[in-house]
Copies of this chain bind each other. A is one copy, B any other.
Amino acid sequence: MARSLAVVVLAAGAGTRMKSSVPKVLHKLAGWPMLRHVVEAAARLKPARIVGVVPPSGDAIAAAFAPHPVAVQRQPRGTGDALRAALPALKDHQGPVIAIFGDAPLFTTATLRRLIAACARRGAAVGVLGFRPADPAPYGRLFVEGGRLQRIVEARDCTAEQRRNGFCNSGVMCIDGAKLAALMAGLRNDNAKREYYLTDLVELAVAAGDLAVAVEGDAAEFMGINTRQELAVAEAALQARLRAAALAGGATLADPASVWFAADTRLGRDVTVGPNVRFGPGVRVAANVEIKAFCDLEGCSIASGAIVGPFARIRPGSSVGRDVHIGNFVELKATTMDRGAKANHLAYLGDGRVGAGSNVGAGTIFVNYDGYGKYRTDVGAGAFIGSNSALVAPVKVGRGANVTAGSVVTEDVPAGAVAFGRARQATKKGRAAALRAKLKARAAEAKRARKD
């Protein structure tokens, strides 16, 4: 089945109700552009081709389709016209063609498979996914007689009698590729909006003596997104799925509703996630990891036995090794922490590596940026970086070296060396009173000045 399948993703709609300068299908859900959910669901069918249909000046959308090719719908002349734009890209294709919409990101691959299988089993020229929403008013209706889909009637064209039919059109369609061109040629725009409707393919197929079928799916999968409110509802639906999957896989989420996953987050068994944790795209967490409350992780891997947070931020390109501890108010950016390394308090570790078992003290900064370039900091295994130190990259601290607290390290520290980069303390006995008198007078003066 899969080899001869083609999928056309219609993504040329305007989306004006989003009130956004970002194309609707690029708004994000679970860390991905909406469109990617649709394309990934299609890709899991392993089709021979996926073709996107984009509007003119839809470069950003086309980029989101990459590496799949796109066709441009020049003018907004209806869904039938949109699919027609994809026909050149479907040249010589013989198997079934799925048409899906880029703004309906909740349907599952399993549901698409059921549609394709039903069409194949029954030899249908056209198959349509239908659903029964709580409120059918805005949807076109599917009319089935004797197991055969007869026609789709748009909501606005329904008679009062027809409105009583709650079986609605999801927009997802499967068309026999061998008959596609002939059917498409029959589309007419002799309607109020002067548009070509994909839904007319059903009547055209029936008129040609071919079979059309309807397959019912779960209403929750067919939500289309037109507003920010609907975007938020879809996000909640995706999150509910991702949370349930995490729990089923053996993770503990103290408060599932306060954990936000990306579509591709992977959690191992016995991972514990505290309340208020956000996973951006690209996070892999191994087994037996504890992620405490208030963490933000993205594009990183966390190895077994690690303890992260609370209030930790781990940014893309970071790798947290086995049994590593990352504590509060610590930021990792493109930094590797080797086995058993620790950075427990207030630190920025960017573009670096911390060797196995090393300890990075509170307040440490890897000074990776000088205003022009970014450089690496490399701390060897078993090193000790004293608190409130600044390691000015590019710089290396060797294995087993010690950097004393409060140091600015601008030169490499050899293995086994001790580096100081701080001033010696000078204590002036009994001088606080005079200093305070001076500060007090200055404050009084400043206050007077403000009044003037």
Residue A335 at the B interface, CB < 8 A? no
> Which residues of A from 380 to 435 have beta carbons under 8 Å from B?
384, 386-388, 390, 392, 400-402, 405-411, 413-414, 416-433, 435
Contact of A293 with B293 at beta-carbon distance under 8 Å, contacts A269-B19, A420-B426 already known: no
Q: Do the beta carbons of A367 and B362 come within 8 Å of each other?
A: yes
Contact of A367 with B388 at beta-carbon distance under 8 Å, contacts A252-B231, A426-B421, A427-B417 already known: yes
Residue interface mask A119-152, B partner, CB < 8 A = 1: 0000000000000000000000000000000000
Residues of B within 8 A of A253 (CB): 228, 232
> Which residues of A from 209 to 247 have beta carbons under 8 Å from B?
227-229, 231-232, 235-236, 239, 244, 247
> Which residues of A from 274 to 298 have beta carbons under 8 Å from B?
274-276, 278, 288, 292-294, 296
Interface positions of A (Cβ within 8 A of B): 18-22, 27-28, 227-229, 231-232, 235-236, 239, 244, 247-258, 260, 269-270, 274-276, 278, 288, 292-294, 296, 310-311, 313, 327-329, 331, 345-348, 350, 359, 361-363, 365, 367, 369-373, 375, 384, 386-388, 390, 392, 400-402, 405-411, 413-414, 416-433, 435-436, 439-440, 442-443, 446-447
Residues of B within 8 A of A328 (CB): 296, 313, 331
Q: Do the beta carbons of B310 and A372 come within 8 Å of each other?
A: no
Residues of B within 8 A of A260 (CB): 254-255, 275, 293
Residues of B within 8 A of A431 (CB): 416-418
User: Which interface residue of A22, A260, A345, A413 has the most chain B CB atoms within 10 A?
Assistant: A345
Q: Do the beta carbons of A310 and B296 come within 8 Å of each other?
A: yes
Q: Do the beta carbons of A252 and B367 come within 8 Å of each other?
A: no
Tell me the minimal C-beta distance from A344 to chain B in angstroms. 9
Q: Do the beta carbons of B405 and A367 come within 8 Å of each other?
A: yes
Residues of B within 8 A of A405 (CB): 365, 367, 390, 392, 408
- Docked Cα-Cα span, A327 to B296, in Å, equals 13
Q: Do the beta carbons of B408 and A435 come within 8 Å of each other?
A: no
Contact of A229 with B258 at beta-carbon distance under 8 Å, contacts A361-B369, A388-B390 already known: no
Residues of B within 8 A of A375 (CB): 446
User: Which residue of B has the minimal Cβ distance to A231?
Assistant: B252
Residues of B within 8 A of A410 (CB): 425
User: Which interface residue of A18, A387, A413 has the most chain B CB atoms within 10 A?
Assistant: A387
Q: Do the beta carbons of B433 and A416 come within 8 Å of each other?
A: yes
Cβ-defined partner of A447 (8 Å) among B252, B331, B373, B408:
B373
